[in-house]
A and B are shown apart, each in its own frame.
Chain A
Amino acid sequence: EDKVVQSPLSLVVHEGDTVTLNCSYEVTNFRSLLWYKQEKKAPTFLFMLTSSGIEKKSGRLSSILDKKELFSILNITATQTGDSAIYLCAGRLNAGGTSYGKLTFGQGTILTVHP
């Protein structure tokens, strides 16, 4: 069964710290890995990764995928209180009809940034 595991499950830091969130996956016929940020309601899209070793970057956030070791990391530098949220990673497999529209999510990492 496809599985996505995130660590740590929760993290408390102070503003200005750098954090690294981990996501490992066991997804047969891997196709892509996605990161989302969920604050109050809707998860908002951050990154989609399909190729190993290519870093995606957006402001203070960056992410990279290692397809050989089956994991991804999400880095946030110079954290701010507005970064407090649940960070979710999700795997998408490529198995024909059984893969359509299905993302397999990890449990999420709850990040709390104190001023």
Chain B
Amino acid sequence: EVQLVESGGGLVQPGGSLRLSCAGSGFTFSTYWMTWVRQAPGKGLEWVANIKQDGSEEYYVDSVKGRFTISRDNAKNSLYLQMNSLRAEDTAVYYCGRLLYGSGKRPNFDYWGQGTLVTVSS
């Protein structure tokens, strides 16, 4: 059974940093593109970042470029999101997701974690 489990969310002050983790199991992690998608409270979905199987390609939504970094450790079956210079508008539930096999950059997210809440507030 495919499972994605996020961790690392919490309360952080504006300007602070946080690192989210996502542990994958039940599939060959190293052969899939992975993604982070967020959802502000009561709002819609917003794509945040994608990373290729070997980590050689990364893509970000404009609003987080230069502040967030997506990375992965295939030996640990883990995906990460390093978030720096956090702002109130980054407050959201952050979901990690797997891209449907062979999807490349297409928005075909076939498995999702349960999400982890990040709150940016003083």
Same complex for A and B? Answer: no
B residues in contact (CB < 8 Å) with A: none
On A, residues with C-beta under 8 Å from B are: none
